[in-house]
Structure 1
């Protein structure tokens, strides 16, 4: 068999068996950690990734995957650490391995945090990209989740969804209100609603919104919007 045929056969076998090409060898502790991770043994995975970070605090693989472990726990309302600690792990990971920026935007293990300002900032998105990448949530006082959500599209449109109860029979409804927006400055947006919720005392369709990272305030609303819902509310 010619050398080129031998190479192509080897390449085919590697791809066929799912072996990553040009993969970096894992340290012993990282290998033990990822084995535990795939077995969903989160306690062991956390322990071994921490061992890796004791040896090398800048290890991007251990930083990134420990962030995944903590995010999975957070999605189950088990807070092993604070969100800010997870973001710091991700920041460490992308600092020492830039390719993690694109990976984190599609990694299902991190999906819980994908809507947050800080997550998108770490992934390298610019402010306006982040603004339209986020669903903005109102307060969550009970079992029905956020009483309001607003999403801005990059084409200059937005959609506000509310949680309301019909007066006649108490049926839960989620009416939607659409409109257009434009940037007045880096942190100020002009909104123009096509139609406003009747619950708003002021029916002025044009109103301003002020945005500061993870907080959005809209004139006429007696609450502010943020980049995360109260995930574990009753």
Structure 2
């Protein structure tokens, strides 16, 4: 056989194999749903994905992408579904298609929920990986959002941000306070602040924190932290 023809045959064979491995056949209703999705016609996309799930409730493609639709709408404060509904869809999706676990961690359509406990649990992260993926928020009593936010990093550091109003002119400020932490047990963390807010009555820099799923309690704070802010209250 001509060497050039042999090369082309091998190239064609590998190209065909690659195409079949990377392609994902989807149903007609899923195709209609995804067409509507790309046109940002969310209501139509929802209708078609739900139609797919009527035929096959375990369809991972429809479950996953309907979760994306609802997350996008939730980010716009259009609450057609609650977070728990979205998590149920994602859980079913990854149950029947394991590769969605990795996809959901980088999918921009799901970014609103990426730093919550349940989201990272469904993605299969270990407890310590999960903990450092969460953003923890204090209460949101008004239009300025959470009064505090704390993030723990994998390198053993953390940063607390507070919402404060300057006494001189009432301007909004968001000072940051850093520190280090170590694990005492799987659910207990020892924190040490470099510096504490002057207004804190107790200036003890070393404090224990306890977490259980989507709730975090830190000694010296008269409220607990949760993994999701009250986004649409204002």
Task: Please list every run of at least 4 consecutive aligned residues from structure 1 whose deviation after the TM superposition is greater than 2 angstroms.
Answer: 6-13, 19-22
| TM-score scaled by length of structure 2 | 0.93
Gaps of 5+ in 1: none
Cα deviations across residues 41-96 of structure 1 (Å, max 9, x unaligned)? Answer: 11111111111111111100000000001111100001111111110100000000
Q: For residue 79 of structure 1, what is the aligned residue in structure 2?
A: 79
Question: Matches of 2:182 and 2:22 in 1, distance apart?
Answer: 46
Q: For residue 177 of structure 1, what is the aligned residue in structure 2?
A: 177
Give the number of aligned pairs: 231
Question: Matches of 2:10 and 2:52 in 1, distance apart?
Answer: 35
SS at match of 1:2: helix
Q: For residue 29 of structure 1, what is the aligned residue in structure 2?
A: 29
Deviates more, 1:62-71 or 1:162-171: 162-171
Cα deviations across residues 205-231 of structure 1 (Å, max 9, x unaligned)? Answer: 111111011110111111111111111
How far the C-alpha of 1:30 sits from its partner, in A, is: 0.7
Cα deviations across residues 164-203 of structure 1 (Å, max 9, x unaligned)? Answer: 1111111211111111111111111111111111121111
Question: Matches of 2:82 and 2:144 in 1, distance apart?
Answer: 25
| 1:53 and 2:56 correspond | no
Q: For residue 5 of structure 1, what is the aligned residue in structure 2?
A: 8
Q: For residue 114 of structure 1, what is the aligned residue in structure 2?
A: 114
Q: For residue 186 of structure 1, what is the aligned residue in structure 2?
A: 186
SS at match of 2:62: helix
Superposition CA RMSD, Å: 1.9
Question: Matches of 1:95 and 1:129 in 2, distance apart?
Answer: 21
Question: Matches of 1:28 and 1:11 in 2, distance apart?
Answer: 28
How far the C-alpha of 1:7 sits from its partner, in A, is: 5.7
Question: Matches of 1:11 and 1:145 in 2, distance apart?
Answer: 54
How far the C-alpha of 1:10 sits from its partner, in A, is: 8.7
Q: For residue 225 of structure 2, what is the aligned residue in structure 1?
A: 225
Gaps of 5+ in 2: none
| TM-score scaled by length of structure 1 | 0.93
Q: For residue 161 of structure 1, what is the aligned residue in structure 2?
A: 161
Question: Matches of 1:132 and 1:20 in 2, distance apart?
Answer: 38
| 1:209 and 2:212 correspond | no
